[in-house]
Amino acid sequence: MAANLNQFEEKMKKSLAVLEKDFASIRAGRANPAILDKVTVEYYGVATPLTQIGTVSVPDPRSILIQPWDASIIKEVEKAILASDIGITPNNDGKSIRLNFPPLTEERRKDLVKGIKKKGEDSKVAIRSIRRDAMDAFKADKKNGEITEDDLKGIETDVQKITDKFIKDIVERVAKKEKEIMEV
């Protein structure tokens, strides 16, 4: 079966989506409910995402308010937040939990930027790996006589253009997230 350019482009889109999800979970000194996406709470014996057991809101730029629909699980919510790696101590008032985000120190900002750049590099490596797989698949198609030498040259050019587009997108997203983190 002949390789399809779209399948490789889809894989690249998925790599970019993973990067976006990673960036959303990085705390940038402002309240962002996305940092709670990976937090699960033990709710009637089932690990349930925090966002599915209550209302999560951002009343001001430096805090998140969590209001569970079932007030009896507030202690479990508090434990889940403490057990997660978000690094913020929850304030429990009996009905809701407030997470206050302190301003980031300069050193912490620089550490976060290093992590962001590393995630960006990892994404670029993933994109290039997909490009290599695509090139190998199309070369195999040529070897099997499914495409001509001219077709292969055109496809290689297309694959490179798609790769360049995704690499450029990653560089822009890394720069945008870096700017967001370094903003005081």
What are the structural domains, with CATH classification, of the chain?
Answer: 5-24+105-182 (1.10.132.20), 33-100 (3.30.1360.40)
Largest CA distance in the chain: 71
Cβ proximity of 128 and 163 under 8 Å: yes
- What is the DSSP secondary-structure string of 97-124? EEEE-PPPPHHHHHHHHHHHHHHHHHHH
pLDDT tier at 180, thresholds 50, 70, 90: confident
- The single residue listed with the structure tokens 């959303």 is 24
| pTM listed for this prediction | 0.69
- The pair phi, psi for residue 42, each rounded to 5°, is -75, 110
CB count within 10 Å of CB 124 equals: 18
* 58 alpha carbon, distance to own chain's centre: 20
Query: What confidence tens digit (pLDDT) does each residue in 164-173 have?
Result: 999 999 999 9
pLDDT tier at 1, thresholds 50, 70, 90: very low
Query: What confidence tens digit (pLDDT) does each residue in 104-157 have?
Result: 788 888 888 898 999 999 999 999 999 999 999 999 998 988 888 898 899 999
